[in-house]
Amino acid sequence: MAAKIRVHIQENDGPNAIYRIDAEKYRRESAAYQQIADRLEVSFGATDEEADAGLEAAEVVLCGYFNNKGLAERAPHLRWVQSIFAGVDKLIPAIPPGVTLTNSSGIHAQKAGEYAMGAILMLNSALPQFVEAQRQTKWEQIFTPSVSRRTVLILGAGRLASAVARHASHFGMRVIGVARSGGARPDFPECYPVDQLPELLPQADFLVLMVPNTAETNGLIGRRELDLLPSHAGVISLGRSQVMDHGALIEKLERGTRGRLPRRLRQGAASCEFSALEDAPPLHQSALRAR
């Protein structure tokens, strides 16, 4: 009988229980793949001490964010690291030579597509304004057009962005993608390189940000880009917060020129930016905070 593959599952640092994989959760979920589970010898860790004990023999590590310093010395038999997240920027420096690193890119594509489309429909139907009017006990009639034939500009063309594009197309929207290289691709009948963004922004009824934070995307949407959007445009930010210049965003919100901006704030934005956004009218922020 072949030796079992030694796997260590290290709990993600942080308070969100959805990212934790303990023995009970593993037992429950692995039951559907019993033949594979029978070939694994699995250890679990939630502390640095438990990590050290599990890493010593591990050939495979399943993890989120944890203390990964000295991984080469702590895990001498390591061959593969699987991250539960799409972003692995904090893991890459720790990965020893010859070890394979894989991520969970695209795992939330369906949900992200639904969330973004929900935000588009919410903004198009002026639901934040209705909620605000209700809060102020005012009766206010607001008339808006159908979302069909409106234009959504999606910054990004990966799996999550493609899911948004599919939903938008289903609702009869014109979908324009922006990617590093451009060129038409599945789900994006129109897709242009980033350097054409200034020509594309004035066409957008909705701008959806779906890109990671890189040297090329950091601060990509700033004061100039926001000014190029039509005054009625809505912005849905599902990418990394560093992609947008929050100072410029707050300025426009305070001037009342861009009040339709639901956004999902991800870790990495400075706390002062988050505090300022909390107070900036009229901004809708979802309660979701990820990573």
In tens, the pLDDT along 159-175 reads: 999 999 999 999 999 99
Sign, Cα dihedral of 210, 216, 219, 220: negative
Within the chain, which residues score under 50 in pLDDT?
Answer: 257-291
- Phi, psi dihedral angles at 30 (to 5 degrees): -75, -10
In 10 A of CB 154, how many CB atoms? 29
State how far the Cα of 200 lies from the Cα of 179, in Å rounded to an integer.
Answer: 12
DSSP 266: B
Sign, Cα dihedral of 188, 192, 193, 195: negative
- Please say whether the beta carbons of 41 and 5 come within 8 A: yes
Looking at the whole model, is its pTM more than 0.85?
A: no
Cα end-to-end span (Å), the chain: 41
In tens, the pLDDT along 208-226 reads: 998 877 777 777 888 899 9
State how far the Cα of 93 lies from the Cα of 69, in Å rounded to an integer.
Answer: 9
Q: Which residue ranges form the domains of the chain, and what is each CATH number?
A: 5-102 (3.40.50.720), 109-279 (3.40.50.720)
